[in-house]
Amino acid sequence: MMAKSKEVLAGKRAKRRIAVVPHTHWDREWYEPFQTFRLRLVRMLDQLLGLLESDPSYARFLLDGQMAVVDDYLAVRPENEERIRALAAAGRLSMGPWYILLDEFLVSGETIVRDLQMGLRRGAAFGSTMEVGYLPDMFGHVAQMPQVLRLAGFEHAVVWRGVPSAVDKTAFVWEALDGSAVRAEYLVTGYGNGASLPSDAKELVRRITDHEKEIGDFLIDDMLFMNGTDHQEPQPWLGRVVEEANAIQDDYALEVTSLADYLRGRRSDGLVTWRGELRSGFRANVLMGVASNRVDVKKAAALAERSLERRAEPLNALFVPAQDWPGALLDLAWLEMVRNAAHDSSCACSVDEVIDAVLVRYAEARRIGDGLAEQALTALQRSLAQPGPTVVNVTARARGGMVEVVVPGEDVPPGTQALPDEPGAFGIPRGMGPLTLDATTVKTILGMLPSGSQIDTHTWIQDVRVEEDESGIDIAIVFGPEERFDVPLASIKQDLYTRLGARPDSIVRIRIDQPAVRRVVARVDAVPGFGWRPFAPAALEHPVTVSEPAADDPAPVVVSNGLVTVLVDGTDGTFAIDGVAGFGRLVEGGDHGDSYNYSPPAGDRLVDTPDSVSVTVTEHGPVRAVAVVTAAYTWPDHVDGVTRARTGSVTVTVTTEIELRAEERAVRVTTRFVNPASDHRLRVHLPLPEPAAESEAECAFAVVRRGLDAEGRPDERGLPTFPSRRFVTAGGLTVAHEGLLEYELVDIEDGPSGRRAGTLALTVLRSTGMLSRLGMSYRPLPAGPLTPVEGLQLRGRPIEARYVLCVGCDDPYALADDAFIPLDVVYSPGGGTRSPTGRALEVEGAEVSAVRRVAGLLEVRVFNPTDRPAQVRTGERSGWLVDLKGRTLEAMDGSFELRPFGIATVRLAGD
Ligand SMILES: [Zn+2]
C-alpha cells in the first residue's frame, strides 16, 4: 500500500499486471468435420507437449477447459498419456472442467450436469481439474449456471457472449435464481484478445497498450490476456517475448499464468451483480438463430434426452436389480449426448458432414436408451404376480391418461375406443387356413427363427403341437398376447429337425392359431408415480364428442370433452380453443440469414392464407378424437442472390392433426409437410388469451421470465426470439413441444398498461443455405466461414412438428410430461412376486431431473422451479444430499427442504 501511494504521489502509476494465459479454442467439429480437425489437434498437441517439456518459460497451457481435446488426442497417441499426466500434475496443463464446451440453451439441464461430471472425472484421472467455470464461446448462458458451478464447488466463471450492458467492468457477480453466485470474469472482447502474440517485444507492448486503451474503462486492476483463439497453435517464442517485454518498459508486469492462478483469491467486493441468464447481444453476437436452424437436429436431441433421462435411467434404476445396472451402455450413450452438446454441434452451425454425424450420435444414444427402457419394462413385466396388461408410470407424479392396449376377444370393452384392426403377427391374416410347404423349406425357416418366444410387441408363442401321419407332418402354433415361459421351444425345434430330416420328401402343413384380439385406446385412472397398476378402463366423466357439419355446410367441426371445446375452421384451417380463435395459423416468410441468425430478405412478403383447405375427422371419441386439416399453400421458391428478394413459387400440402382426449385440457397438434422451398422461415401463430408483456420459458433447472425485447447492437439485431426447452407460457397459454425450441411474442401493441403482445409465434422451420453470410440486414458481419451448406435448407425433407396447447394450464411440467412421456403398458404372464399395484420410488415436492444408480445406490436429482421453499419427500427412504462431485453435504431422513429455485442431488440408502 505504501509503495503504491508513493508511486501515485510521484505521478507514476503502478505497474499493471498482464496475465498471459496461453490456450487454444478447440471446436471439435464445425466448418470442418471432426476427423479433419483432429488431424490438426494431433499436430498441435504433439508440438505443444514438446514445447512445454523443453521450455520452462512456456509455463502454462489451457486445454480449452474441455477433456474431449485430451481424449481425442490420446485415441491417436495413447503412448503420450504419461507425458500429459506429468504436465498436468506439475500444473503446466490445465485439465477440464468440462468434457465439452457445450451450448447451454440447446441441451437439457441433465446434459449440462453430465458434461461437467464427465469432465471432472476425466480430469481427475490426470491428477487435477481446473476448478473454473470456463465458458468462453457459448452463445449466451443459462440462468442456473452459477448454481451448477457452485454445486461442483466452483467460485469462478469466465464468460464472454451474452453479458448485458449493465455490466461495465471485467468482472461481475453472477447470481443464479436460487441466489448462489460465482465471480464471473468477463472477457470483454472475447477469448482471443491476446491471440497470435507477436515475437517482437516492442510490438507486444504496443498490442497491450492498444488493448488497454480499448477496454481501459472496464479494467478493475489486472488485465487478462488470452493468448489463443480458434484452433490456434502455440507460439514458441511466448516465454522469451514476455521476458523481453518486461525488460523494456515499466508500465506492465507480464506473466505467463493459468486461469485458476489468475483468479485465485479474487474477490467480489464492489462488483455489479447480475441475476439470471446472459443473452444480450450488446457487445458480442449471441447468435440466437441457432435455436431454429436444422429443426431435425433439435428434435433428435429432444427424443434422445427423453429416452435416456426420463425412461432408460429411471426404469433401469427402479426395476432392474442394482447389480444389473447397465452403466457401461449408458456411459456410451451419454458420451454421444455430451459430444453433441458442443456449441457448434447441437447448434448445427456446421457443415453437412458434421450435422450428419450429430444426427447419428443422437440416434445411437436414443437406440441405447429405448432398448434399455424396453429391457427394464420386460424385467418389470416378468416380476408381476398377476397376469394381464399393467400400466406403468415412469414419471414422479401420480397420473392417469390414455393408453393403447391389446385386449383379448372380438368385442370392444366398455369405456374403450376401438382402433383399426391390424393384421396378425408376421402379417398373417387371422383365421387363415394351413400353409403347405415342403420339409426343406421348413428346415430353412426354422433356422431363421429367433430363439425366443416373442413374435412382435404384442405376440408370443403360447404352444406348439406337432403331429405326423402318412400324408405328412402337421404343425400347429398358437400365438397369444402374453409371454409364456413354459414352452420348451428349443426341444420342440430339435424334435422338428429330427422329424424333417427323417422324412425330407414329406409335406408339412403349418397352421397358426391367432386368437382374436382388439387394439383399443382407453383412459386409465391415476397410476402412482414411478409405479404400476393393472389396466382397467376408467369411467369417462368427460368423453370426447365430435360434431361434423354436412359436406356443403361451412360450419366448423366441433370437438369437445366438456372441459375444453375446439372449433376447427374449414375456411382457413385455423382452430379456436374455448372461443379464442386463430390457433394454428401458419405464417411463412423469407429468411436470407444463415445458420446463426434469422434475417429477412428484401421486401419480404408473408404467406399465411392457404389456397384450399379441407377438414376430416379420423377418430370420433369417446377416448380420443382427431380432426385433420389439409391445407394447400403456394410459397416462394427461394431468395434470389442478386436482388435479395424472394422469387419463384412452389406448392405444398400441410396436414395438421388436432387431437383432444377425454378428461384432458390439452389440445395436441401435429403438423407435417415436406419442405418444398429454400431460404424461408415457417412459424405457427398461437393467439394469447390475454395480451402479455412477458413470457416464461423452461430452461435448464428453471423457468425463466423474459420481456418483449432483447438487447442487441447494430452488428446484431436484438431479436427477441428466445429458446424454451420443453414449454413456454404467455398470456394464459402454455405451449409444450418436442424440440421446437424457438418462440417469439409478436403482434405487439401499445395499450393503457404498456406494450403487450397478442400472439406467440413458434418456429416450425428455418431454412437457409449458408453457414455464415456477409451483409445480412440483421447481422452485417460474418459469424463464421462464408460456406454454402445445402443441408441447412432442409429442402425436400419431411418435417413433423409436435406441440400441445393448454389454456389456463396450472402445471407446465406436468403438461410436458403428459404430452410426450406416455404411460407404458406391459403384458404380464403372472407368477412373479411383485404386487399388482405399487410404486418403486416416492419423490414429491419438486421436479425430478434424474433417477439413476451411482456406485449401486439410487441417486435422485430434483429441482424446485418455484420461488417458495419446497419440502422434498422421499417416502420412508433416508439418505444423503451430495454435491455434483458426489461429496456428502448432509444426511436426509425421508424429507428435506429445498430453497426456492434450488437443485439438489440425494443418494438413497438401501436398494
Ligand atoms: Zn467455439
- For the segment 394-408, what is each residue's pLDDT rounded down to a tens digit? 999 999 999 999 888
CA of 137 to the centre of ligand 1 (A): 5
Whether residue 444 is predicted with pLDDT greater than 50 in this model: the reply is yes
- The residue type found at 508 is V
Tens digit of each residue's pLDDT (9 = 90 or more) over 618-641: 999 999 999 999 999 999 999 998
Which DSSP string corresponds to 704-733? EEE-S----BTTB-----EE-SSEEEETTE
Q: What is the mean pLDDT of residues 596-603?
A: 96
* pLDDT score, position 409: 83
* pLDDT score, position 424: 67
Q: What is the mean pLDDT of residues 290-313?
A: 98
Whether residue 231 is predicted with pLDDT greater than 90 in this model: the reply is yes
Q: Quote the CA–CA distance of 839 and 845 in Å, as a whole number.
A: 16
CA of 273 to the centre of ligand 1 (A): 26
CA of 360 to the centre of ligand 1 (A): 21
Q: Quote the CA–CA distance of 556 and 566 in Å, as a whole number.
A: 9
Is residue 662 within 8 Å of 523, Cβ to Cβ? yes
* pLDDT score, position 484: 78
CA of 190 to the centre of ligand 1 (A): 11
Q: Quote the CA–CA distance of 537 and 400 in Å, as a whole number.
A: 11
CA of 230 to the centre of ligand 1 (A): 7
Q: Taking the CA of residue 165 as centre, how many other CA atoms within 13 Å lie in the half-sphere pointing to its CB?
A: 7
CA of 16 to the centre of ligand 1 (A): 30
CA of 475 to the centre of ligand 1 (A): 64
Question: What does pLDDT average to over the chain?
Answer: 94
CA of 575 to the centre of ligand 1 (A): 43
Q: What is the mean pLDDT of residues 57-73?
A: 98
CA of 229 to the centre of ligand 1 (A): 9
CA of 601 to the centre of ligand 1 (A): 28
Percentage of the chain modeled with pLDDT above 70: 98
Whether residue 580 is predicted with pLDDT greater than 80 in this model: the reply is yes
Is residue 681 within 8 Å of 590, Cβ to Cβ? yes
Percentage of the chain modeled with pLDDT above 90: 84
CA of 151 to the centre of ligand 1 (A): 25
CA of 616 to the centre of ligand 1 (A): 48
Whether residue 61 is predicted with pLDDT greater than 90 in this model: the reply is yes
The CA-atom distances, in angstroms, between 761 and each of 129, 139, 298, 788 are 43, 22, 17, 28
* pLDDT score, position 4: 44
Is residue 778 within 8 Å of 598, Cβ to Cβ? yes
The grid coordinates of residue 573 equal 384451417
CA of 27 to the centre of ligand 1 (A): 5
Q: How confident is the model at residue 904 (pLDDT cuts 50, 70, 90)?
A: very high
Tens digit of each residue's pLDDT (9 = 90 or more) over 838-862: 999 999 999 999 999 999 999 999 9
CA of 324 to the centre of ligand 1 (A): 39
CA of 135 to the centre of ligand 1 (A): 10
Whether residue 3 is predicted with pLDDT greater than 60 in this model: the reply is no
CA of 101 to the centre of ligand 1 (A): 8
* pLDDT score, position 503: 87
Q: Among candidates 130, 147, 44, 55, which has minimal Cα distance to 95?
A: 130
Q: How confident is the model at residue 442 (pLDDT cuts 50, 70, 90)?
A: confident
CA of 141 to the centre of ligand 1 (A): 14
Q: Quote the CA–CA distance of 316 and 314 in Å, as a whole number.
A: 6
* pLDDT score, position 56: 97
Whether residue 431 is predicted with pLDDT greater than 90 in this model: the reply is no
Whether residue 450 is predicted with pLDDT greater than 80 in this model: the reply is no
Whether residue 752 is predicted with pLDDT greater than 60 in this model: the reply is yes
- Please identify every residue whose CB atom is under 5 Å from ligand 1, which is an ion: 27, 137
Give the CA radius of gyration of the chain.
31
* pLDDT score, position 455: 79
Q: How confident is the model at residue 12 (pLDDT cuts 50, 70, 90)?
A: low
Whether residue 768 is predicted with pLDDT greater than 70 in this model: the reply is yes
Whether residue 426 is predicted with pLDDT greater than 70 in this model: the reply is no
CA of 220 to the centre of ligand 1 (A): 27
Whether residue 106 is predicted with pLDDT greater than 90 in this model: the reply is yes
Q: What is the mean pLDDT of residues 341-359?
A: 98
* pLDDT score, position 7: 46
Q: What is the mean pLDDT of residues 159-168?
A: 98
CA of 25 to the centre of ligand 1 (A): 7
CA of 146 to the centre of ligand 1 (A): 21
CA of 108 to the centre of ligand 1 (A): 19
Give Cβ neighbours of residue 739 (< 8 Å, ≥ 6 apart): 295, 298, 299, 300, 301, 302, 303
Number of H helices, E strands in the chain: 17, 48
Q: What is the mean pLDDT of residues 717-735?
A: 98
Is residue 878 within 8 Å of 906, Cβ to Cβ? no
- Number of Cβ within 10 Å of residue 145's Cβ equals 26
Q: What is the mean pLDDT of residues 695-721?
A: 98
Tens digit of each residue's pLDDT (9 = 90 or more) over 475-513: 998 887 777 777 888 888 888 888 888 888 888 998 888
* pLDDT score, position 462: 86
> Strand 181-186 and strand 156-159: pairing?
parallel
Question: Which range (19-28, 547-556, 754-763, 854-863) has the least confidence?
Answer: 547-556
* pLDDT score, position 2: 41
Q: Quote the CA–CA distance of 902 and 870 in Å, as a whole number.
A: 9
